[in-house]
Amino acid sequence: MTRPYPAFRPVLWLMLALLLGVAVSSGPLVEVGGTLGFVAVCLLVLVEPTLAIVLMLGLAPLKTLIATEAPLPLPVDIGQLAFALAVFAWLMNRVARQKTIPLPRTRIYLPLLVIMAGFVPSLFSATSSPAWVSEFLKWVEMLLLLLIVLDLGYEGRWTWVVFGAVLAAVLQAAIGLYEYFGGSGAGHLWIADYQHFRAFGTFGQPNPFSAFMGLSLPLALGMAWGYTLRGYGAWRETGKTWLGTGLLALFYAVSAVLLLGGLIASWGRGAWLGFGAAVTVMVFLAPRQWWRGALLMAAAGFLVALLWLAGFLPPSIQDRIDNALTEFTGFGDMRGVAISTDNFAIVERLAHWQAATYMASARPFTGVGLGNYEVVYPRYGIPSWPRPLGHAHNDYLNLLAETGMIGLAAYLVGWMTIGYWTLRALGQSDPVLRGLTLGLLGIWTHLAVHSVVDKLYVNNLFLHLGVMLGLLAIAYRRYQL
């Protein structure tokens, strides 16, 4: 394996020496330490640029925590700073390698480009162009991350990206479980007869935390499955298995348990439904023969039904799931609904759905402008709910309101195409890559289902999704070889 920066090494050492001299000779100790730490991180990601992606995945969830608790405000959120560092490390890596090497090509670019093209017409009906640009840039960053992960994922480096993505989620799950058992929480987050707090990690709110758990848990399950199959295959052929394979299978299995705990502790009904759909799809497609998958799915469904009917599930969880399945079936005109403490949250959400339908009716083809839901809400909102929540808490309705039928159709076509190519990539022989692909399919399923009751492209979660798309591009490229 060639080292990425042989020609730049003397320059890097010279820069480090100069910065050390300047830092030590001036400034308080805290600032000196921060400067040296930043320089060390920059040098580290220049030597191994995939670490910049791992760092971004770990720092991106800290956006709300730093914005609300940091003594000194940052000019932009920490996730965007880490994203910029990842782009810089990748560009330097491209320069250090041969300039003539073309950018990697993959058909996974196409669905994202279709989605972005579908959003463009809404710019001409947007009330706030800056809000449109801000939302559109999320998709530009996802496209860039797809390219960067695909380009840097050579020689097995993609496994470090997966490891970092799961580890970042595990750290959030640990924080969430600490909060759940009374470590931290606000009065409105009490659950289970005031015995626990809803977990929120460093996201500040349970909903994005639950989404992060749901978008990470399938990846851990898929990788645990893949490494287990690789170890089992080696044992069948040689009578022994590699210690590293077994340890990785154990790491991802334990991570999956912790992430499941974090998901439950979030008390997010949409995330629970999303994970239920994701695990159903994964169980069905895990075996290579469809009939085995059908049997596994039937057995799992029977077990869950048995536990439910026998009352082995905690009543609070059963009630939470029952409410999730019944509350949204009565969607109608919210203007005359009597509001109580019991129905406040659901009526508020349905009122924002109703506002989204009014926006879509006003501009059915191009919508009110990508990212403009909150901007125009005063014109379309129900009088009893004058304060916007930022989005419609239903991503499909939100897209219909903001980008019209053109944007929503492009979004659906794009993601269905991604799902189809993910299914194709399941046909590869390598068990770990197949486990990765299976986990990605679970992530797409969770995204599709959870989006019915929330918007998941918030709190830097789109950075996580961009990395996942890059991993799909790697898996699909290996499938085509």
Give the lowest-confidence range in 121-135, 306-320, 461-475: 306-320
Identify whether 321 is part of a domain: yes
What does the pLDDT look like over 381-433, one tens digit per residue? 988 888 888 899 999 999 999 999 999 999 999 999 999 999 999 999 899 99
Q: What is the pLDDT of residue 210?
A: 97
Identify whether 266 is part of a domain: yes
Q: What is the pLDDT of residue 12?
A: 57
Identify whether 341 is part of a domain: no
Q: Are 394 and 356 in contact (CB under 8 A)?
A: yes
Identify whether 50 is part of a domain: no
Identify whether 103 is part of a domain: no
Q: What domain range includes position 114?
A: 110-329+389-480
Location of structure tokens 């219909």: 400
Give the lowest-confidence range in 73-82, 115-124, 336-345, 413-422: 336-345
Backbone angle region of 97, left / alpha / beta, with phi > 0 → left and psi within -120 to 50 → alpha: beta
Identify whether 474 is part of a domain: yes
Say yes or no to pLDDT of 52 above 60. yes
| Measured CA angle at 167 (ends 440, 439), to 5 deg | 15
Question: 8 phi and psi, to 5 degrees?
Answer: -90, -5
What is the average per-residue pLDDT within 311-324?
A: 67
Confidence label for 17 from pLDDT (cuts 50, 70 and 90): low
With a pLDDT cut of 90, the percent of the chain lying above it is 62
Residue 438: Cβ-neighbour burial (10 angstroms; 0-12, 13-18, 19+): buried
| DSSP-based three-state secondary structure for 62 | helix
How many domains are there within the chain? 1
Q: What is the pLDDT of residue 2?
A: 45
CA 421 – CA 249 distance, rounded (Å): 26
Q: What is the pLDDT of residue 1?
A: 41
Start-end of H helices in 290-394: 290-310, 315-326, 344-362, 373-380
What is the average per-residue pLDDT within 294-301?
A: 83
CA 351 – CA 337 distance, rounded (Å): 10
Instruction: Please count the CA atoms within 13 angstroms of the CA of 435 that sit on its side-chain side.
Output: 23
**Please, which residues have CB within 8 angstroms of residue 219's CB and are 6 or more apart in sequence?**
162, 165, 166, 436, 439, 440, 442, 443, 468
What does the pLDDT look like over 183-194, one tens digit per residue? 776 777 878 677
CA 426 – CA 288 distance, rounded (Å): 9
User: H/E element holding 197?
Assistant: strand 196-197
Identify whether 100 is part of a domain: no
CA 311 – CA 332 distance, rounded (Å): 33
What does the pLDDT look like over 184-222, one tens digit per residue? 767 778 786 778 899 999 999 999 999 999 999 999 999
What does the pLDDT look like over 320-334, one tens digit per residue? 666 655 555 556 677
Residue 376: Cβ-neighbour burial (10 angstroms; 0-12, 13-18, 19+): buried
Confidence label for 310 from pLDDT (cuts 50, 70 and 90): confident
In this prediction the pTM is 0.90
Q: What is the pLDDT of residue 252?
A: 98
Q: Are 279 and 442 in contact (CB under 8 A)?
A: yes
Give the lowest-confidence range in 3-17, 117-131, 219-233: 3-17
Q: What is the pLDDT of residue 219?
A: 98
Q: Are 39 and 45 in contact (CB under 8 A)?
A: no
Q: Give me the DSSP letters along 250-310.
A: HHHHHHHHHHHHHHHHHT-HHHHHHHHHHHHHHHHHSSSSHHHHHHHHHHHHHHHHHHHHH
Identify whether 348 is part of a domain: no
CA 154 – CA 139 distance, rounded (Å): 24
Q: What is the pLDDT of residue 328?
A: 58
Q: At what angle do helices 78-96 and 129-152 cross, to 10 degrees?
A: 40
What does the pLDDT look like over 238-253, one tens digit per residue? 877 778 899 999 999 9
> Average per-residue pLDDT in the chain?
88
